[in-house]
Amino acid sequence: MRRERSADAIVIGAGIAGLMAALKLAPMQVLVVCKTRLGSGAATDWAQGGIAAAVGRDDSPQLHAIDTALAGAGISDREIVDILTNDAPARIEDLLALGAAFDRDDAGELALGREAAHQRRRIVKAGGDATGHEILTALIAAVHASPHIEVLEDVTADDLIVDDGTLRGVVAHVNGSDEAIVLRGRAIVIATGGIGRLYRYTTNPVEATGDGIAMAARAGTLLADMEFVQFHPTALAIGRDPMPLVTEAVRGEGATLINDLGERFMLGIHPDAELGPRDVVARAIFEQLQRGRVVGLDARAAIGAAFATEFPTVFNFCMSAGIDPRVQRIPVAPAAHYHMGGVAVDEWGRTSLPGLWACGEASATGVHGANRLASNSLLEALVYGARVATDIAATLPAPSTHTTVPRPRLAPHAGDDAQAISDLRNVMYANVGLVRNEVGLREALSRIDELNALFPAPGSELRNLLVVGRLIARAALARKESRGSHYRTDYPLTDEALAKRSFTRLADAV
């Protein structure tokens, strides 16, 4: 069974980036493709820390840009960094206008938090540690009130339709059925989020399977910075999958990392100790765990009795596991959290394929470089969701002539692939994770080849994870140095000759 739908623009993904783009595209008719029910499955809803924006009296976009570029380890695109930090205050105003209830201080001003590698308090937050949920709630309410937007729920996009180099639409399917949908739009936006499900330990929802990156890759679109995967240092280690996040703001308020020997080990590793760059802190914890140590985040002295009100989301996660962070250390471990790489885009979110834009975590703008600065992810999604919409409005392609669409590829039920996905996640965390080397990377690529052979017609999630896993492993093998989130034991030093972004296509990784 097959049906067709059309609109001015098709937005694939219903997190912060996709919904912001859809709202800003008014009055164009927009179809939003949502893999689950609207409001579930988006990493936005899980974001705790907040949005970085220079809105404090002692701050400026220039200072924010300096911190962003430093975290990027020498390869952030400075023009894009300036765009991001200059646009940030206006995007906060957008959310306030939509009704987002951000935390306020006693004077009624925005209560700004501080996180690692920020030289100022500039983290706008809501509910202490429920920022993403508040933003998504405000965006969804606005979408429901916008007659120009229609949301297709429980629909998974499978492939872009490209005919003789021209983008014609998207093939999708209704989850759990054989019903295919051909979506035609003069503009298509990929806003599908990240790739966290590729790793055994992740803070991302199960829906984060790299769908948009894989679709764009199969269509021949240029990709960038695929080797750079950020691991959050402090995921709650209580045996859950995905792992609940312990926001960096807890460390920003003074919590310390202590091993089971009572050692505050970060003091000897980085001048900023627990507030060092994420890659440094994550690898330090990983090294402790590899030695057989247990690592805890100690907030007793710094936050203590105020924990329940300051960080209610983290508090509830801890208490549900029998851990009281007011009087006990919080067990933590690093987990895949954010992908700096993705579909290569320019300053307006345009990809190398005419008619295709990308924004949010699925894109690679160049702003994050080798290691994203904390709380710049929600910001980038907002900024580029808006910029994509502005560019589409100014350059909307002419209506395409009708073409015959190939028979859609219908994905088998994902349950058939469960063991393969588990195997892939294990090998990616072990060999393409926080610490890498040539032997491990080649082992991972070999296992990906085996899985491709064993599953010639995989379900959509395994199919996409195998594509993205290969791209990340190949890019990591090619970068023979250590930089930011990419660390190789066989090339432990940073090579200034390699202080540049990486670009590839799927054909290069096969």
Catalytic residues: 278
Q: For 417, phi and psi rounded to 5 degrees?
A: -105, 5
What number of CA atoms fall less than 13 Å from residue 121's CA on the CB side? 11
Structural element, H or E, at residue 158 = strand 155-163
Left (φ > 0), alpha (ψ -120 to 50) or beta: where does 141 sit? alpha
User: Cα angle at 132 between 128 and 133, to 5 degrees?
Assistant: 85
**HEC profile of 23-56:** HHCCCCCEEEECCCCCCCCCHHHHCCCCEECCCC
What is the per-residue burial (b if ≥16 Cβ within 10 Å, else e) of 252-263? Answer: bbebbbbbeeee
Token pair belonging to 160? 């872009």
Instruction: Using alpha carbons, select from 56, 55, 76 the residue that is nearest to residue 67.
Output: 76
Strand partners, 324: none
Name the one residue in this structure whose structure tokens are 């627990």. 274
Q: Is the dihedral of CA 64, 81, 276, 102 positive or negative?
A: positive
Token pair belonging to 357? 């834009």
The residues, ordered by sequence, that sit 6+ positions from 310 with a Cβ below 8 Å of its Cβ are 128, 129, 253, 303
Query: From the CB of residue 120, how many other CB atoms can be counted at a distance below 10 Å?
Result: 17
Cβ atoms 283, 230 nearer than 8 A: no
User: Cα angle at 384 between 379 and 387, to 5 degrees?
Assistant: 135
From the CA atom positions of the chain, what is the Rg in Å?
22
How many separate helices (H) and strands (E) can be counted in the chain? 14, 18
Token pair belonging to 114? 């501080």
Task: Measure the CA–CA gap between 397 and 384, rounded to whole angstroms.
Answer: 19
The DSSP call for residue 64 is: H
Task: Measure the CA–CA gap between 189 and 393, rounded to whole angstroms.
Answer: 13
Query: From the CB of residue 51, how many other CB atoms can be counted at a distance below 10 Å?
Result: 29
| Secondary structure E strands in 290-427 | 295-298, 330-339, 342-344, 356-358, 363-364
Task: Measure the CA–CA gap between 129 and 45, rounded to whole angstroms.
Answer: 11
- Report the SS3 class of residue 463: helix
Helix pair angle (377-395, 78-97), 10° resolution: 90
